[in-house]
Amino acid sequence: MTEPLANWTLFRLLACLAIVIVPHFQSLPVWASVLVSVMLVWRGLVAIFHWRMPSVWVRGTLAIAAFIALFLSYGRMNSQEAGAGLLVVMVAFKLTEMVKVRDCSLVLMLSYFILITHFLASQEIVTAVYVFGSVILVTALLLEISHPQGPLSARITLRHASVLVAQAVPLMLLMFVLFPRIPGPLWGIPHEESRGRTGLSNSMEPGSISKLGLSDEVALRVTFLDERPKPSQRYWRGPSFWTFDGKGWHPGNETQQASATRIAPEGMAIRQEIMLEPHKHNWLIALDLPVEGPPGSTHDNAHQLISDKPVLERKLYQVTSYTDYRYQPELSPDLRARALQLPGFGNKRLRELAQQWRQSEPTDRDIVNAALRMFNSEDFFYTLEPPLLSNTSGMDDFLFNTRRGFCEHYASAFTLLMRAAGIPARVVTGYQGGEYNEAGNYFIVRQSDAHAWSEVWLQGDGWVRIDPTAAVAPERIESGLAAALSEGEASTVPGSSNIYLIYQLEAYWDWTNAVWNRSILAYGPELQQRFLERFGIRDWYQMTLVLTISVVGFLAILGGILLWQARKQIADDPVVREWGRFCSILARHKLPRLPHEGPRDFAQRATRARPDLAPEITRISGLYVKLRYSDTDFDIENLRRLKHAVRRFKP
More confident residue, 2 or 554: 554
CA-CA-CA-CA dihedral for 459, 461, 465, 471, to nearest 10: -80
Which residues touch 277 (CB under 8 Å, ≥6 apart)? 197, 198, 217, 218, 219, 220, 314
Q: What CA–CA distance (Å, rounded) separates 194 from 208?
A: 19
Q: What CA–CA distance (Å, rounded) separates 576 from 581?
A: 9
Read off the DSSP letter of residue 392: S
Which residues touch 423 (CB under 8 Å, ≥6 apart)? 364, 367, 368, 456, 457, 458
- Whether the pLDDT of residue 226 is over 70: the answer is yes
User: Can you list the pairs that 16-21 forms with residues at least 24 positions away whose Cβ atoms lie under 8 Å?
Assistant: 16/108, 16/111, 16/134, 16/137, 16/138, 16/141, 17/91, 17/107, 17/111, 19/134, 19/137, 20/111, 20/114, 20/115, 20/134, 20/138, 21/88, 21/91, 21/92, 21/114
Closest alpha carbon to 237 in 304, 309, 301, 308:
304
- Whether the pLDDT of residue 68 is over 90: the answer is yes
Q: Is 583 a catalytic residue?
A: no
pLDDT at 198: 47
Read off the DSSP letter of residue 517: I
- Percent of the chain beyond pLDDT 90? 35
pLDDT at 487: 55
pLDDT at 542: 82
Q: How distant is the alpha carbon of residue 557 from its chain centre? A: 33
pLDDT in tens, 452-503: 999 999 998 899 999 999 898 888 775 566 565 665 565 556 555 556 677 6
Q: Give residue 600's identity as a one-letter amino acid code.
A: R
Residues recorded for the chain: 651
Q: What CA–CA distance (Å, rounded) separates 131 from 630?
A: 40
pLDDT at 196: 39
Catalytic option among 288, 396, 449, 467: 467
- Whether the pLDDT of residue 1 is over 60: the answer is no
More confident residue, 391 or 36: 36
- Pair 125, 518: CB distance under 8 Å: no
The packing angle between helices 348-360 and 407-420, to 10°, is: 60
Helix (H, G, I), strand (E, B) or coil at 650: coil
From 7-16, 154-163, 570-579, the region with the lowest mean pLDDT: 570-579
pLDDT at 570: 55
- Whether the pLDDT of residue 273 is over 70: the answer is yes
Catalytic option among 407, 409, 449, 510: 407
Q: Are strands 381-382 and 404-405 parallel, antiparallel or unpaired?
A: parallel
Closest alpha carbon to 231 in 5, 14, 443, 43:
443
Read off the DSSP letter of residue 388: P
- Whether the pLDDT of residue 89 is over 90: the answer is yes
From 109-123, 326-340, 464-478, 567-581, the region with the lowest mean pLDDT: 567-581
Catalytic option among 24, 191, 281, 451: 451
Reported pTM: 0.71
Q: What CA–CA distance (Å, rounded) separates 15 from 41?
A: 10
Q: Is 451 a catalytic residue?
A: yes
- Percent of the chain beyond pLDDT 70? 88
pLDDT at 255: 45
Q: Place 155 in a pLDDT band, splitting at 50, 70 and 90.
A: confident
pLDDT in tens, 518-566: 888 778 777 788 888 888 887 778 888 888 888 888 888 878 877 776 6
More confident residue, 264 or 41: 41
Q: What CA–CA distance (Å, rounded) separates 616 from 591?
A: 15
261-278 b/e with 16+ CB inside 10 Å = b?
A: bebebeeeebbbebbbbb
**What is the mean pLDDT of the segment spanning 199-205?**
83
pLDDT in tens, 355-412: 999 999 999 999 999 999 999 999 898 888 888 887 778 899 999 999 998 899 999 9
- Whether the pLDDT of residue 193 is over 70: the answer is no
Closest alpha carbon to 402 in 419, 429, 382, 377:
382
**What is the mean pLDDT of the segment spanning 19-28?**
92
Q: Place 192 in a pLDDT band, splitting at 50, 70 and 90.
A: very low
